Structure 1
Amino acid sequence: MIFKYKALDFKDNLIEDRLEANSEKEAISILRSRNLRPIKIVEINKINVDIVLKRRTFNNEDLHILLYQLYVLVNAKNTIPSAFRVLLKSYSGKKNKILKKVYQDLLSAKPLSDALKESGEFPNLVVNMIGVGENSSNMILILKNLSEYYLNKVKLDKKIRNALSYPILLFVVTFFIVNFLMLNILPTFAEVFKNSGAELPYITQILINISTFINKNIIIIILNFLIAILLLEIFFKTYRGRYTLDKIKLKNKFYKTIIVKRFVNMLNYLISSKATMSNSLEIIIDSTENFVVKEHIKNAIRDLYDGISLSDSLRNTGLFSEAALSMLNIGEETSELDNILRALDDYYEHEIYFKSQKYVSLVEPIIILVLSIFVGFIVISIAMPMFDLVNRI
């Protein structure tokens, strides 16, 4: 059973989250074991748990441009409402409608963070960091940092896409070539061999049987495939399904490096924006898509409240290398954590680049080899009885 709860920690900070338990009584026990005082606990339907991020109107590139424009306008001594009035002229369609609603909320004296949150179109990171800016008078710095963060995110995503595009293209080409040979070429030759009465080699007969089975049952195969995809999609929309998927993803070292890079990058910008460490980690939890990582960060926050250092708290997550943890420890001891985080951010960016290049260099020859084996096997299976026919003539 999945429960949504509201609770207070020992500092009377309100915490809203979800947890899994067998009963409401067990959920209360779990919260108390975490030193939380439950205020409200409600069971929610697993299938309706909204854990998949919806497609937003503003993508990362849009957010970079919007936040940079806002930074420039506010830095030029414009008020937030005045800045949004100017921004409205640069957008049309749905984006204009969203910004217009935010602007109207600002005119009614609503804080920018609340207006953005109520629109439902902006990531938690943007909403929470702007909330920090409103409470700390660092709005200009935070808008600048947010703009840079989304610019770096766009660059990183582009590097990853570029690294994966060619292997994916090779795989798709391989899939279509093999299917074309199996479903179009092989049946034609099978008919020729059948009419000639030639005795077929064992491997040729196997391929013909596979091709015949696929041709006769192609609709059933496609339907079963679509049903399997649908069932998996339903499963991964449950809390348990998404948690399982996220746990599997973290076993991939390349994915894990990307997750750590994003964590360090967010923490770097939050700390440089004068947010407290605990507040920064809470914002990162709201902004992180991986459920397993969310749990790890929550545990790190509890360790921080218990007086454990950041480096030791993160060590318990199992996400960071000893070298990275040692650097964080040095940053804490020397009060140079912001510089260390910046250095780690650069380090992980380079590591992702080199790992992606290594991945491509390994995957390309493997896909080409597999393609060659499949195509070669099919060609040999066709050629062997063809040579036999020619010799008989």
Structure 2
Amino acid sequence: MNNSDDKLANRNRRSFLTRTLVAGGIAATAPLTSNALARPINSPDTASKAIEPFYGKHQAGIATPIQRNTYFMAFDVITTERAELIALLKAWTDAAAEMTQGPAHMDKNADPEQAPKEMGATLGLPNSRLTITFGFGPTLFEKDGQDRFGLASKRPAALADLPRFNGDQLIPERTGGDISIQACADDAQVVEYALRRMVSLMNGAAQIRWAQTGFTAGYKPNETPRNQMGFKDGTINVPTKDPAAMHQFVWAGNEGPDWMRDGSYMVIRPIRIALEHWDKMKLAFQEQTVGRHKLSGAPLGKHHEFDKLDLEATDKDGNYLIPENSHVRLSAPESNDGAQILRRAFNFDNGVAQIAERWPPWHQSVTFDAGLLFQCYQRDPRTGFTKMFEKMAKFDMLNQFTTHIGSGLFACPPGAQPGEFIGQKLFS
């Protein structure tokens, strides 16, 4: 760390301690909104498009307009047989293609003495733009020094383990996984059923490692939704309808293995937010922390949400209008050599949990177990999420209210074609 970093760190530390507000079990580090409250990639006017294609060049659920609900699940593969793993992927692919292509139907002639193939939870419901997205974690390629499935040599360099960031409080039971499956739809019951169906197909080849549900706020067409902290969440993002931008920042190219070309790398991290503490903060402090006006979403010193960030603007005393350690400044592409990620995050609320404060007087209390299911896609996490978050983990003012409690890194291969299973080229 250079001298300027030391000064900034000391200034942040003094600011942090003088505010005596932070519950440490809840307050560590995290980007509540990566990429400067990234612009949403959806609007409700797409809701009438009830079916999202499963087969294609890219997996659905990445550039797809974001849905209202999600169910993310990470699995450990417990079989040691390559053939059983392939059979599982085939079964999962067939089920995903079936569920995403239309509403559920029950066979009227089903044998009443057998468990029905169709469980019935979504009978009569449209599939609500259901997408199912698959990812492969680092441990699928090698685990505990063992190449279980002959895949170690095919692990992409971009699938490098994430470093441990300042303030991480990762729970092992909510971290990692050999394979991930994420269902997203505009109906919570549809996504819940999709994961139940996937679990029913495991047949002893895999087991659940961890899971998290999530939701997005309701909003009007072309209007940015607000997050649980009350700020518009999604103002800057990689434009999904710009092929050049998606190729530059999101889709994997020929720099890696052929089986990952046109796929993407996903980072997912549940972030608990100290909502009770945040709600007690003065409005001015909240806006300085984020770097935007709460009502309009405009950058500080501007009037409209989508006004360009002016990181050089100062007040009459020469202080930056957008503070040096604000979330917006630290996550902006201009502060990260142009790095960008495709942010696709959801809120979560797991009820309540007992939390122990990390700062005096170290109280224990029951509080909201809620926050952000942060998720982003990029061409290479080393030049995307990791590059951006290493700085944010040290200096972001939002770290006073947020704690990373889990983490996952997954290589999401390109989309499958009819007759193929997801990730087929990896096994060829």
TM superposition score category, shorter chain reference:
under 0.3
- Higher relative CO (CA 8 A, sep ≥ 6), structure 1 or 2? 2
TM-score w.r.t. length of structure 1? 0.24
Higher relative strand content: 2
